[in-house]
Every structure is written in C-alpha cells, then in structure tokens.
Chain A
Amino acid sequence: MQQNIEHFVESYRQLQDRWSEQPDWLSDLRGGALQVFSEAGFPTTRQEEWKYTNVAPLTKISFGSAAGDSEAVHGIERAKQAIASYTIDGCSTLVMVDGTVVPELSSMGELAGGAQVKTLREALVSEASGLREAVVRQASFEGYAFAALNTALMQDGAYIFVPDGAVIEQPIHLLSVSTAGAQPLATHLRYVIMAGPNSRVTAIESYVGLAGEPHFTNSVTQVQVAPGAAVDHYKVQREQPNAYHIARLQVRQAESCTFRSHAFSLGSALARNDINVTLEAQGSECTLNGLFLVDGERHVDNHTTIDHTQPNCNSHQLYKGVLDGHAQGVFNGKIFVRSGAQKTDAKQSNNNLLLSPDATINAKPQLEIFADDVKCTHGATIGHLDEDAMFYLRARGLDQDLARSLLTLAFASEVTDQVRHAPLKDALSNAVAAMLPAADSARSD
C-alpha cells in the first residue's frame, strides 16, 4: 500500500546531515527504524489496536521538520509568549521549540545529589550511562510504527539520570512548544528517565502549541524505575485544535518501587496515548490516572497496559473522560497477570461523562489473568450529569451553563486533586475550568 511518507524520508536525510557527530550505532539504528516504518506504514482501522482511531487525516499532510537554524529561530520568537503562560512555578524547566532544546529559554539549575538533565542530543553523543541500551531496547517497536518513526527521526528531548539515593524535590518540567508558523511541522521527541535505587524524582511533560499550520507531535518516553525508587510523572497535552499528538510511554519497574503517572489530554484534533508498564519484580506499585476533555470534532484515544509478571504488586488506574459536541473518546485498559504473579492487586476504573447526545466513547477494559490468588477489579461507567444535582444548583439561581460546568469540574476534580505539585494542580484546574462555559469564576483564587 502506497502511503505518503516522502516528507518523512526527506526529514530523515536532513537529520542525518545535521547529526554528523552521532555515534554509528545510532545512525544504523535510525536507518533500520526508517525501514521498519516504511514497510509497516501508518496503522489502519483494520488493526485491532487502532480500530476506533483513524489516523488517515494525519497521513495526508506533508509535515516538514524544523531543520534549518533560521526556522528554529523564527519559531523561538513566536514561542516566547506561550512559554510565559505555560511555565509552572517551582520547577526546573527545559524548553523545546519545534523539537529542539532552547537553552536560553530554559532554567535548569544544579540538581541535588548529582542528578543530571541533559538534552537528548548531548546524552546520545556523549554515550550517557544506560541510554544506548534503553534506546536499542525500545527499537524492537513491537509493530508500533510511530515508535519506529520516532527512532528514525528523534530530533531531541531529554535524558534525566537520578543516581542512587538522590531525592529531587523540585519537579523537572519538560515543556515542548510547537509553533508551525509557515508550514506543517512534525516534532519527534524522546525522553529517557532513569531513576536509580531509592531515588525520588518528579517529571512533567507539557505539550503546547500556537495557532497556525497543523502540527504533529510524535513522542516516546522511556522510564526505568530501580529498586526502592519513586517516580511521579505528569503529562499535560494542551496543543492547538489542528494538532496531532501520538505518544508512547514505556515504563519498567524493578522491585519495591513506585511509579505514578497522571495524564491530562486537553487539546489537539487527535491524540493517542499508549502507556505500557511492566512490573518486572515484586512488591511494586503502579498508578495511572488520566483525564481527557474533548469537544467539537476532536478525538482522544488512551490505551494502557499494565503487565504484572511477578507476585505482590499493586496497580491502580483511574481514567475519566468528559465528551461534548461530536467528540470521540476511546479507553482500552489492559491488565495482564501472568501465572506466578500471585497476590496481585489490580484496580481499574474508567468513568465517562457525555455532555452531548452526539459524543461517543468506546470503553474496553481487558483483563487477562493467569494466576489464581489475585484481586482484580475493573469498572467502566458512561453517564450524564445528575439531574437532581442540576435542579439543585439551578433552584439556587445558578444558570444552566454554570451549573453544568460546575458539575463537570467536580467530575474532573477527582483526577486533578491527585496532582501533588500545587502550582501544577492549580494550573490544571484552571485549564479545565477555561474549557467549560461560564466556569471561569470557579478558578482557584
């Protein structure tokens, strides 16, 4: 099947030219990845995992990349304003514009305990510890074409390394801004987070976009959590209405460690998030929370997989969706409990609020359990705003729009309330309120 991928091949050539200093193994890996992508092509709705998500609109656009320096500089000027409003207080910030780290817009100070944040480019060239292994491992792609494309074209990103026992109190905010002023652009970012034994770190991935030509963000994030470590991860996607966002989060947890991820999908025309967590040893905990708000003709698809391969691990998922207009949502939550993974405790909840009769949600919990001494529960609900609650609010003089927005905000707050970093929690509550009519006054004072 012939698909329009010439622009990606062109981007690949440009990238190979600009990255003359990259190690051979990486150059070869990229070549192989491009091959895999060319052969597999974009996924179609005939594939089970993409049944409800049609990426055809994305495939029809010839995305370029912000390859030349002049383009990058132009983008930076436009990005400066956006950065001011999306910065989060109390964080160390690394800013990327159209796929490239911009040091002068970032504020990454010294991190405690010898922790390092390097740009991906630096880290790859300097063969940072564990990075090559991580990147090569991810290259198995498992038939995931977008990850292959990311390997072939990853421009930049971040490498976060937290040594044994280091505790990083201040969250690390990875802010990606897409500008797409003159032509459609694609950004391929790779983040690699390696938390050493007994370390603590919080990372926030934000994606924002300026109005303009369509933008395609294709990101891959790899997280490795060593024994006893605790990683808090946040993902905030607030891209422009004509953006496409495809992201993959790959997590490996060692023994007795904790991984908590909170994902917020508040933008873009189409967003697809795949999260895969492998619990490789005993005694660990994994929490995946998510909130998505879609309206108009937007589409959001969240696929999560948690693989309990060993005994005595707990996993917990809470995904909530708010759908209005003609929007479409998909939630597919897989839980695997391998034989031998006894005393697994896995919970999954997916609650969806339909605010209009034309919005749709496809919710599919998928549990495959091969051990017999486990606790696994899942629940999916699809509903409307409570009539009694609406009547109560209106009977106290609140108009219909405000009543609906307040109740929707209340629904969403179960997820936003779990955010531990206060400035981020406020920013998210306000962002959600801003998306609901008349709810502006409900923002935190």
Chain B
Amino acid sequence: MLKIKNLHASIAGTEILKGINLEINPGEIHAIMGPNGSGKSTLSQVLAGREDYEVTAGTVEYLGKNLLELPIEQRAREGIFLAFQYPVSLPGVAGSYFLRTAVNAMRKHREQKELSGKEFLRLVDEKMKLVKMKKELLNRPVNDGFSGGEKKRNEVLQMAILEPRLCVLDETDSGLDIDALQTVSAGVNALRSKERSMLVITHYQRLLTHIVPDFVHVLVNGQIVQSGGRDLALHLEEHGYGWITEDGATDTAKHESLGVSSISA
C-alpha cells in the first residue's frame, strides 16, 4: 500500500528526514517510535502533504500512485487520514457541516452518492457510539472548547466516518488519561481491517499495549535505525532510546533474544 524509499525532507532549510525507507502492506499496523526531535511528526505531515516541508529526495508510492505529486486534499480523498497530534479548533465552522462536507467530498471522489442531511445524521449517530462522544459536541464549532480527550475522540470519529485506507496516527495518545486512551484505542481497533493499514506514531509504549502493532520501527535523527516486532516497543520502554547509537550499531548480544534486527539506512 505504501512504499517510502529514501525520503529526505526539510523545513526552512533544515533537513529533518534523512533517508526514510518503509513499506506498509494492506492490513498491517506499523508503529514508529523515537525520541523527541527525531522527525516522527514530520513524517506524518509530509505524508499528508503539508506544504511547509520540502521533499529533497526519495519517492513515496501509495496504492501505485506517486503520492508526492498529489495536493493535500487529493491525498485525503485517496484515503490518507492524518489524526493530528494537536487538532486545531475552528471557531465559526460548524462541526456537523464540516464533517458532512468532508464525507461528501470523499464519496464524490469514490463515485458514491452524496449523503443527505438525514443519512448523514444516521451515520454520525452510529459512529459516535464507537468513540463514546456526546452528540451535542457536533453542534458546536469544530473542536471549539473541546478537552484534549474530546479532540482526540473527534479525530477517531472522523476516521470512522471517512473510512480511510491509510491512517496515520500522530501521537494520538499524547495528553490522554487512561479512560480516554482506552476509548480512543477501542475506536481505532474497531477500524482494523484487511484493506486498511495504520501508521501509529508514538513516543510511549503505553499506546501499543492497546493498539498492538505488527511492526515497530525506531526513528532517530531522521532515519529508521531499528525495526522489529512488538517486543521492540517493550524493550524501548525498559531501556529508553539511549542504547541506539547514531550509526545504528547495537549490542547484539544484549538484544538478540528480542528478535531485534537493525536496518542500515
């Protein structure tokens, strides 16, 4: 579904991504972990198409298409969904209107019939149960006055309604208490399917107990330096990121038992 080859990206002249290689197949859940400043958020924003970032080298193939050529809204309509780490509030933009417009833009692109007001409300009712969100929240402007937990649940609600192919969850767990984390994770898990893939970006292992990944990659200083199974996440939790040196060398004796392999950039 997604093939990233040697991706380099900069912002304001500073290179953040220094050669990312990643392949995601349909139905897989990949986690990206890494210390602050490693480029985790940058990767998600570059995939979504944020124009502040400049791709200086590399390719990204998504469903056989050249993703880097597509504008932001086109990527969204092709099924890429970025769940923001800090969702913005949009005072003056009605929540339900925004969501309905997004759904219909997606449906139009997929050559499906657009939803009427009633049909949309029925869909929303059904999906709101998934994230345990109060109905009244959609009557407010988008994210206006929402708590951190409500904003993240709103992201998952939108994901449930838009039915994307590739979900990129950018530190969805940040700022969440235990209950909110469980609700959000349950919502995400309910969206797992053979045709849908997820890229879960997180700093802490905690989220990955709830959303269990198939693969874990460690991003350090703009490159993926380690990849492994879910146990890699547990190892990082216990030992931190310090044991991964800049050139990717590891103490193999210490970590072999965990099935950890290193990927050279």
Contacts and interface: CB of A to CB of B under 8 A. Distances in A.
Contact of A410 (B48, B52, B71, B90): B90
B93 interface: yes
B237 to A, nearest CB: 31
B87 A392 contact: yes
Given A392-B87, A445-B117, A397 B109 contact: yes
Given A397-B105, A398-B101, A389 B92 contact: no
Contacts of B75: 395
Prevailing SS type, chain A contact patch: helix
B98 interface: yes
Contact of A414 (B71, B92, B117): B92
B253 interface: no
A404 to B, nearest CB: 12
A420 interface: no
A410 B101 contact: no
Contacts, number: 69
B162 interface: yes
Contacts of B72: 391, 394-395
Interface residues of A, number: 26
A406 B93 contact: yes
A411 B71 CA distance: 25
Greatest chain B CB density within 10 A among A386, A391, A402, A411 is at: A391
Contacts of B84: 392, 395
Interface in B38-73: 48-50, 52, 71-73
Contacts of A409: 92-93
Interface in A369-396: 386-389, 391-396
A411 B92 CA distance: 7
Contact of B102 (A396, A411, A441): A396
A407 interface: yes
B117 A396 contact: no
Given A391-B50, A395-B82, A397-B76, A410 B141 contact: yes
A395 B91 contact: no
Contacts of A394: 49, 71-73, 76
A407 B93 contact: yes
Contact of B73 (A398, A414, A442, A445): A398
A129 interface: no
Contacts of A403: 73
Interface in B96-135: 97-98, 101-102, 105-106, 109, 117
A399 interface: yes
Contact of A389 (B49, B77, B90, B117): B90
Contacts of A126: none
Contacts of A407: 90, 92-93
B121 to A, nearest CB: 12
A411 B88 CA distance: 15
Contacts of B71: 394, 400
Nearest to B45: A391
Greatest chain B CB density within 10 A among A397, A398, A407, A442 is at: A397
B202 interface: no
Contacts of B50: 391
A407 B88 CA distance: 12
Interface in A328-378: none
B158 interface: yes
A388 B73 contact: no
Contact of B88 (A388, A397, A399, A441): A388
Contact of B93 (A388, A395, A410): A410
Interface of A: 386-389, 391-400, 402-403, 406-407, 409-411, 413-414, 441-442, 445
7 contacts: A392-B84, A392-B87, A395-B48, A395-B72, A396-B158, A397-B109, A400-B71
